[in-house]
Amino acid sequence: MILELADIRIHPGQQAAFDEAIVRGVTTVISQAQGFRGYKVNKGIESPERYVLQIFWDTLEDHTVHFRGGPLFPQWRAIVGPFFAQPPVVEHFELVGKSD
């Protein structure tokens, strides 16, 4: 399983609207993508305009090729993109270990 981690910065004062938009975008759009296995989203306490989105994929290509290159990506960006203060920083990770 692959973890996509997106570090997102939004425009100040938009937190309540973005909270709704990001959950709606994941649950109605990204959740339809091939290889999607789940997600978590957290928002910053010290930096309230900062969000960390974690999406779990079966393979790297499910995110980078099938989702990013397919018709769902523009739908996702239409929902969340207007809130972005800058492009998100996105990286991928493989599991090394975890707690029970």
Residue-level pLDDT at 12: 96
Contact predicate 66/34, CB 8 Å: yes
pLDDT in tens, the chain (100 residues): 999 999 999 999 999 999 999 999 999 999 999 999 999 999 999 999 999 999 999 999 999 999 999 999 999 999 999 999 999 999 999 999 999 8
Average pLDDT along the chain: 97
Task: Tell me the three state secondary structure of residue 45.
Answer: coil
**Taken in order 24, 71, 65, 83, is the CA torsion positive or negative?**
negative
Percent over 90 (pLDDT), the chain:
99
User: How far apart are alpha carbons 91 and 80 in whole angstroms?
Assistant: 18
- Residue 67 DSSP class: I
pTM: 0.94
* CA 5/CA 90 separation, integer angstroms: 6
Cα–Cα dist 51/80, whole Å? 12
